């Protein structure tokens, strides 16, 4: 399917994987709308993409999301890559329930609320692509919250594919991707961690956001894929990391 003149909304499209997806969609002829919380990131992304529209919103706020989609009107493809960072890490027994809950509020309920608000405006020939993560398929020690969130997203995607057909609903499941989500680490530590991760992966490198963007564009384009989780993780699941 050509994406020429298709309208695509990317919630979280101002950074990392979402920004790379926005740029790739534009290169395929799509009209792109990016949204996230920070005006600064929205402005920078709109400038970098060149032709996109940008909106400031919090995807956890149902009212804001409803008003946003009412303003946007009909469109073809919804991509959600927004999420707060993984803050609830550590052995299951030591985790505070509130911290796990607030991570669910962001990544799971944020994506849920976004789809709910967007639904009246997505064309029947269109698509919804959410974002999970490789931990859903291969839990890592100390990552129970992210494992649960990503598994919940993948379950939701399969259920929505049934309820919302013929709209296609899929997820991309990234492995480790070099994005600003790691900006809290200094360069030296990040390089060392990435080198170590790369050595244990079948494909021997940490992903660039552009490698993920291709998966989102594929799922927007392909008219015979729904209820699927596209793993883009460099062989992390088979490598056991
Ligand atoms: N990078 C990885 O290694 C990796 C691995 C597995 C899964 N993932 C998943 O991939 C997705 C994208 O990650 P990324 O690495 O590209 O992260 P990123 O570079 O930090 O981008 C996250 C985006 O989400 C937006 N955002 C965060 N909270 C939001 C909210 N409440 N409302 C609206 N927008 C919000 C951020 O902008 P504002 O700050 O302006 O809101 C930003 O544009 C996430 O679901 C993440 O869990 C990433």
Answer yes or no: is pLDDT of 154 > 70. yes
Residue 109's pLDDT is what?
Answer: 98
- State how far the Cα of 26 lies from the Cα of 190, in Å rounded to an integer: 30
106 part of the active site: no
Model confidence at 87, in pLDDT bands (50, 70, 90)?
A: confident
Please write the tens of the pLDDT for every residue from 172-210. 999 999 999 999 999 999 999 999 999 999 999 999 999
Residue 89: the pLDDT is: 86
**205 in Cβ contact with 239 (< 8 Å):** no
What is the number of domains present in the chain?
Answer: 1
In a domain, 188, yes or no: no
**Of these residues, 127, 132, 173, 228, which one is catalytic?**
132
Look at residue 201 and tell me if it is in a domain.
no
Residues 120-134, buried b or exposed e (16+ Cβ, 10 A)?
ebbeeebbbbbbbbb
Note the pLDDT of residue 137.
Answer: 95
- Greater model confidence, 239 or 164: 164
Strands 168-174 and 53-56, by their bridges, are: unpaired
Q: Which residues line ligand 1 (CB under 6 A)?
A: 12, 14-18, 36-38, 41, 58-60, 81-84, 106-107, 110, 131, 133, 174, 176-177, 179-181
From the CA of 81, how far away is ligand 1's center (Å)? 6
Mutate to test the pocket of ligand 1, among 11, 36, 114 (most ligand atoms within 8 A of CB): 36
- Residue-level pLDDT at 231: 98
In a domain, 184, yes or no: no
How many residues are there in the chain? 241
Q: Label the pairing between strands 168-174 and 229-232.
A: parallel
Which atom belonging to ligand 1 lies closest to the Cα atom of 176? 3
- Structural domain that includes position 78: 7-176+209-236
- What does the pLDDT look like over 88-136, one tens digit per residue? 789 998 989 999 999 999 999 999 999 999 999 999 999 999 999 999 9
Is 190 among the domain residues?
Answer: no
Mean pLDDT score of the chain: 96
CATH number at residue 43: 3.40.50.720
Beta strand 31-36 pairing with 53-56? parallel
Cis peptide before 166 (omega within 30 of 0): yes
What's the whole-number mean pLDDT along residues 208-224?
98
The yes-or-no verdict on residue 86 having pLDDT over 90 is no
Tell me the CA–centroid distance for residue 30 and ligand 1, in Å: 22
The pLDDT score that the predictor gives to residue 216 is 98
Mutate to test the pocket of ligand 1, among 21, 60, 83 (most ligand atoms within 8 A of CB): 83
Q: Is the pLDDT of residue 1 over 80?
A: no
Helix H or strand E encompassing 233: none
Query: 166 pLDDT exceeds 90?
Result: yes
122-131 vs 31-36, strand pairing mode: unpaired
User: Is residue 60 in a domain?
Assistant: yes
Residue 93 lies in a domain: yes
44 in a domain, yes or no? yes
**Residue identifier of the C-alpha nearest atom 37 of ligand 1:** 36
Q: Is residue 183 part of a domain?
A: no
Per residue in 33-62, pLDDT (tens digit) is 999 999 999 999 999 999 999 999 999 999
pLDDT at 25 over 80: yes
Strand ranges in 45-176 using DSSP code E only, listed in sequence order = 53-56, 75-80, 122-131, 168-174
Phi, psi of 31 (to 5 degrees): -95, 120
For 138-158, b/e burial (b = at least 16 CB within 10 A) is beeeebbbbbbbbbbbbebbe
């Amino acid at each position: 399917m050509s994406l020429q003149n298709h309208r695509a909304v990317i919630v979280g499209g101002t950074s990392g994987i979402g920004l790379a997806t926005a740029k790739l969609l534009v290169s395929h002829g799509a009209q792109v709308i990016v949204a996230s919380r920070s005006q600064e990131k929205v402005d920078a992304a709109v400038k970098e993409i060149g032709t996109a529209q940008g909106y400031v919103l919090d995807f956890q706020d149902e009212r804001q999301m409803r008003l946003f989609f009412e303003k946007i009107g009909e469109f073809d493809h919804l991509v959600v890559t927004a999420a707060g960072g993984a803050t609830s890490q550590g052995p299951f027994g030591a985790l505070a329930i509130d911290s796990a809950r607030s991570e669910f509020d962001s990544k799971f309920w944020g994506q849920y609320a976004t789809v709910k608000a967007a639904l009246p405006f997505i064309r029947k020939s269109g698509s919804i692509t959410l974002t999970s993560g490789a931990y859903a398929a291969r839990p890592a020690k100390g990552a129970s919250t992210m494992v649960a969130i990503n598994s919940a997203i993948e379950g939701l995607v399969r259920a929505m594919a049934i309820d919302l057909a013929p709209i296609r609903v899929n997820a991309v499941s990234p492995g480790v991707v070099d994005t600003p989500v790691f900006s809290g680490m200094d360069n030296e530590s990040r390089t060392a961690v990435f080198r170590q991760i790369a050595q244990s992966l079948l494909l021997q490198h940490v992903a660039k956001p552009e490698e993920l963007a291709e998966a989102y564009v594929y799922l927007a384009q392909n008219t015979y894929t729904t209820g699927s989780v596209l793993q883009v993780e460099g062989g992390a699941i088979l490598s056991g990391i």
